[in-house]
């Protein structure tokens, strides 16, 4: 029952109409990303996801990982999947060409990695770690370190992980105690313990590169005294060959709610004299370099929310169309998908997934524009938008993805609560996405404090102006005028809530922090609604173009033959497969489906914006509540 197929029509529609994949291919350095190549890569990635990764997802969940002496053993099938992943060139898809990658844009990366996260999140967390670590090393490492490590990392010969968290520190990196001591040869010796380290150890690759936060004994207190060190599992000789085992090991594995196929390790450094490490970049700039990795990780986690929601939805949709129970419209023996409430749940799930996808793919394109756009102003604007909305992407997408996974269990009813059907795994796997790389509360406080208050809301105002321009264009489409009105009201509420934050940020920071999560949900709904509205406008335009083409065919033909030709053109538009000439990437039925999703969004989710805005404005109630209110 738990098979997977990528939603290629949605992916292509969003790439065509919201991202503008042809405009990405026009950027300097992105010329290889021609639309037809992009679509071919998506089809091949779908085959790999469905044929290699998805079949070992459930078995990996059941087997989990184990510690056998000093060895971390991963589930059966992981090694073969990794070897195929590397051999297929998938790891280097978006990584720099100078280190052996293909350098393709992030706008393509997003749908491809969504497929892999959907198919098998626990497995795909390993290659995901390579992306942020590669970027951090590329930004901060010296040329010798880059030359020695990056080609082997990008090729998949060596793997990476990110070793940040400590037992006493949690999300408070200022409390990091991992100790680094300078050695006579210019290297360092590291001592301490890290926890919650995904793929901290395994034998899938010949070597593992740990990027570790630590501080020297005389370093400044807090985050200003933290440095970043590269600690290889096996020491590396000057020619790239491997030497002795380093003084780093996994001492235990976490017993988790989900992602059982991913080994989450407690790592000990320096138990036997000191783990050899090498400074990355400059001393005391580790937090700065860490955020290069963290932003990449947070963007990836935003895709986790979409991906697991899609996988759970596919299971629920299949089950609802196979399971017969009760009477539908007075008729027995019909699938439960026909029950109005079940259909509502399915439509709610599908709409939310479409909105998440429509939000995150154009954000991926902002990365490409920030890096490659020839206009400094356009590149800077894209970078500002990324910085502003990264907490929203990570926080709102994972919160919404969890809701979808929960709804999938509800569609199954009692069968969703038993492990045999498999849908519960996606809920269990997805639950951590709201926590790691910063909880939703941390994301929300980052959004409010660092992104909005620090610059007095300037970038948010800039984004709001862009949304309002799209509202005006939407209002010009007669069929979508109601959506334009609803979105305009949502933007008004967003501005009202923003004004509240700015008015109280200095005088009442506790209230503003209490308002942060409701504000994040508000911002997520408005930004997602903006993208849904853009999709509706594109769909309406596609239908209008098809109708015009049919009318033109009828006008240009004579007599009965002309009528037949017009009918044939309309029929072709109705039934043409994706990518067929005259139908774009979508047939008329699909486009009407997009319009239905937009209608459901503005009937169901847009009204929730007002509630979040009112909650933001009333957030002083949190501080006013006495501590006694917390105890029964």
Q: How far apart are CA 252 and CA 197, in angstroms?
A: 11
Q: How far apart are CA 324 and CA 345, in angstroms?
A: 17
How many CB atoms lie under 10 A from the CB of residue 395?
31
φ/ψ (deg, to 5) at 200: -60, -30
Between helix 423-431 and helix 286-322 the angle, nearest 10°, is: 160
What is 82-93 written as a DSSP string? Answer: HHHHHHTT-TTT
Q: Looking at the domain assignment, is residue 321 inside a domain?
A: yes
* 454/379 same-domain check: no
How many CB atoms lie under 10 A from the CB of residue 538?
19
What's the confidence (pLDDT) of residue 571? 34
326 contacts: CB under 8 Å, gap ≥ 6:
332, 336, 339
Q: How far apart are CA 589 and CA 394, in angstroms?
A: 32
Q: Positive or negative, the Cα torsion across 440, 442, 448, 451? A: negative
Q: Which among 36, 437, 466, 495 is annotated as catalytic?
A: 437
- The residue among 439, 462, 494 that closes a domain is 439
Extract the tokens encoding 157.
Answer: 């010969």
Q: What is the b/e burial string over 551-570, where b = at least 16 CB atoms within 10 angstroms of the residue's CB?
A: eebbeeeeeeeeeebbeebb
Extract the tokens encoding 90.
Answer: 């998938």
pTM for this one?
A: 0.93
* 483/415 same-domain check: no
Q: Looking at the domain assignment, is residue 610 inside a domain?
A: yes
What is 18-41 written as a DSSP string? Answer: II-HHHHHTSTT-TT--HHHHHHH
* 359/498 same-domain check: no
φ/ψ (deg, to 5) at 568: -65, -40
* 294/426 same-domain check: yes
C-alpha radius of gyration, the chain, whole number: 26
How far is residue 612 from each of residues 243, 495, 607, 616, measured CA to CA in Å? 57, 12, 10, 6
What's the confidence (pLDDT) of residue 172? 78
Q: Looking at the domain assignment, is residue 239 inside a domain?
A: no
How far is residue 155 from each of residues 94, 105, 176, 217, 432, measured CA to CA in Å? 12, 18, 32, 36, 29
Which pLDDT tens digit goes with each residue over 349-402?
999 999 999 999 999 999 999 999 999 999 999 999 999 999 999 999 999 999
* 378/342 same-domain check: yes
User: In this structure, are residues 616 and 501 in contact, taking their beta carbons and an 8 Å threshold?
Assistant: yes
How far is residue 350 from each of residues 8, 160, 356, measured CA to CA in Å? 14, 35, 10
* 610/473 same-domain check: yes
Q: Looking at the domain assignment, is residue 320 inside a domain?
A: yes
**Quick check: helix, strand or coil at residue 437?**
coil
Q: Looking at the domain assignment, is residue 400 inside a domain?
A: yes
* 515/539 same-domain check: yes
Query: Tokens 């997520």 correspond to what residue?
Result: 524
Extract the tokens encoding 361.
Answer: 């793919």
Q: How far apart are CA 17 and CA 537, in angstroms?
A: 9
> Using a CB cutoff of 8 Å and minimum separation of 24, what contacts does 445-449 make?
445/513, 445/516, 446/391, 447/388, 447/391, 447/392, 447/395, 447/516, 447/519, 447/520, 447/523, 448/501, 448/505, 448/512, 448/513, 448/515, 448/516, 448/519, 448/520, 449/505, 449/512, 449/513, 449/516
* Region of residue 333 (phi > 0: left; psi between -120 and 50: alpha; otherwise: beta): left
Q: How far apart are CA 475 and CA 489, in angstroms?
A: 13
Q: Looking at the domain assignment, is residue 342 inside a domain?
A: yes
* 474/610 same-domain check: yes
* 355/300 same-domain check: yes
- The residue among 381, 412, 439 that closes a domain is 439
What's the confidence (pLDDT) of residue 169? 77
What's the confidence (pLDDT) of residue 586? 65
What's the confidence (pLDDT) of residue 549? 77
**Quick check: helix, strand or coil at residue 324?**
strand
* 478/595 same-domain check: yes
* 383/468 same-domain check: no
Minimal CA–CA distance to 114: which of 188, 45, 29, 212? 45
Q: How far apart are CA 272 and CA 407, in angstroms?
A: 50
Q: Assign 3-state DSSP to the chain and report helix, strand, coil percentages, each to 5.
A: 65, 10, 25
Q: How far apart are CA 274 and CA 191, in angstroms?
A: 6
**Quick check: helix, strand or coil at residue 250?**
strand
What's the confidence (pLDDT) of residue 198? 95
168 contacts: CB under 8 Å, gap ≥ 6:
175, 177
386 contacts: CB under 8 Å, gap ≥ 6:
295, 363, 366, 367, 370
* 316/430 same-domain check: yes
- The residue among 410, 439, 468 that closes a domain is 439
Q: How many domains does the chain have?
A: 2
CATH code for the domain of 372: 1.20.140.10
Q: How far apart are CA 113 and CA 66, in angstroms?
A: 27
What's the confidence (pLDDT) of residue 556? 64
Maximal C-alpha separation, the chain: 94
**Quick check: helix, strand or coil at residue 560?**
helix
Q: Within the chain, which residues score under 50 in pLDDT? A: 558-585
Extract the tokens encoding 467.
Answer: 């949304």
How far is residue 297 from each of residues 198, 293, 304, 444, measured CA to CA in Å? 12, 6, 10, 17
On the CB side of 533, CA atoms within 13 Å amount to 32
Give yes or no: 437 in active site: yes
Instruction: Residue 546: give the domain boundaries.
Output: 440-551+578-621
Q: Looking at the domain assignment, is residue 253 inside a domain?
A: no
Tell me the three-class secondary structure of 40-56, residue by residue: HHHHHHHHHHHHHHHHH
How many CB atoms lie under 10 A from the CB of residue 113?
26
What's the confidence (pLDDT) of residue 567? 33
Q: Looking at the domain assignment, is residue 126 inside a domain?
A: no
């Amino acid at each position: 029952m738990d098979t997977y197929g990528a939603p290629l029509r949605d992916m292509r529609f969003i790439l065509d109409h919201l991202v503008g994949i042809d405009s990405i291919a026009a950027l300097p350095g992105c010329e290889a990303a021609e639309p037809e190549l992009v679509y071919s890569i998506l089809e091949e990635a779908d085959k790999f996801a469905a044929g290699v990764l998805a079949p070992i997802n459930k078995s990996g969940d059941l087997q989990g990982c184990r510690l056998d002496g000093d060895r971390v053993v991963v589930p059966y099938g992981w090694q073969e999947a990794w070897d195929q992943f590397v051999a297929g060139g998938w790891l280097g898809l978006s990584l720099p060409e100078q280190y052996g990658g293909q350098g393709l844009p992030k706008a393509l990366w997003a749908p491809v990695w969504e497929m892999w996260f959907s198919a098998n999140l626990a497995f795909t967390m390993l290659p995901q770690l390579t992306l942020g670590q590669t970027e951090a090393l590329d930004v901060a490492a010296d040329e010798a370190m880059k030359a020695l490590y990056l080609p082997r990392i990008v090729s998949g010969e060596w793997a990476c992980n990110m070793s940040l968290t400590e037992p006493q520190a949690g999300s408070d990196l200022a409390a990091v105690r991992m100790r680094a001591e300078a050695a006579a040869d210019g290297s360092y010796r590291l001592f301490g313990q890290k926890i919650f380290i995904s793929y901290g150890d395994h034998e899938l690759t010949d070597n593992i590169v740990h990027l570790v936060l630590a501080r020297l004994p005389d370093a400044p207190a807090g985050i200003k005294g933290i440095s970043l060190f590269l600690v290889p599992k096996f020491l590396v000789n000057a020619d790239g060959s491997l030497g002795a085992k380093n003084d780093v090991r996994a001492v235990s594995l976490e017993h988790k709610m989900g992602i059982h196929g991913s080994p989450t390790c407690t790592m000990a450094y320096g138990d036997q004299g000191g783990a050899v490490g090498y400074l990355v970049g400059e001393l005391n700039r580790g937090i700065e370099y860490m955020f290069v990795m963290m932003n990449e990780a947070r963007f990836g986690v935003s895709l986790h929310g979409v991906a697991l929601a899609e996988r759970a939805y596919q299971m629920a949709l299949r089950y609802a169309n196979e399971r017969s129970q009760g009477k539908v419209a007075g008729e027995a023996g019909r699938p439960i998908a026909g029950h109005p409430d079940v259909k509502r749940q399915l439509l709610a799930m599908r709409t939310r997934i479409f909105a998440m996808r429509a939000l995150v793919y154009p954000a991926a394109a902002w990365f490409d524009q920030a890096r490659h756009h020839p206009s400094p102003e356009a590149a800077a604007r894209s970078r500002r938008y990324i910085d502003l909305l990264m907490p929203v992407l990570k926080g709102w997408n994972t919160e919404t993805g969890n809701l979808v996974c929960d709804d999938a269990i509800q569609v199954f009813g009692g069968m969703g609560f038993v492990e045999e059907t498999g849908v519960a795994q996606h809920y269990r796997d997805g639950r951590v996405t709201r926590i790691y790389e910063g909880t939703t509360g941390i994301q929300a406080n980052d959004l409010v404090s660092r992104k909005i208050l620090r610059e007095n809301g300037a970038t948010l105002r800039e984004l709001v102006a862009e949304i309002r321009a799209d509202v005006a264009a939407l209002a010009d489409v007669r069929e979508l005028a109601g959506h334009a009105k609803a979105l305009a009201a949502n933007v008004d509420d967003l501005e009202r809530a923003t004004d509240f934050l700015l008015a109280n940020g200095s005088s009442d920071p506790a209230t503003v922090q209490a308002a942060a999560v409701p504000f994040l949900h508000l911002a997520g709904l408005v930004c997602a609604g903006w993208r849904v509205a853009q999709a509706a406008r594109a769909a309406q335009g596609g239908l209008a173009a098809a109708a015009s083409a049919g009318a033109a065919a009828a006008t240009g033909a004579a007599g009965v033959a002309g009528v037949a030709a017009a009918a044939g053109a309309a029929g072709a538009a109705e039934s043409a497969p994706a990518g067929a000439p005259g139908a774009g990437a979508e047939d008329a039925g699909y486009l009407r489906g997009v319009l239905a999703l937009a209608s459901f969004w503005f009937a169901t989710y847009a009204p929730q914006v007002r509630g979040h805005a009112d909650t933001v404005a009333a957030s002083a109630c949190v501080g006013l509540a006495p501590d006694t209110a917390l105890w029964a």
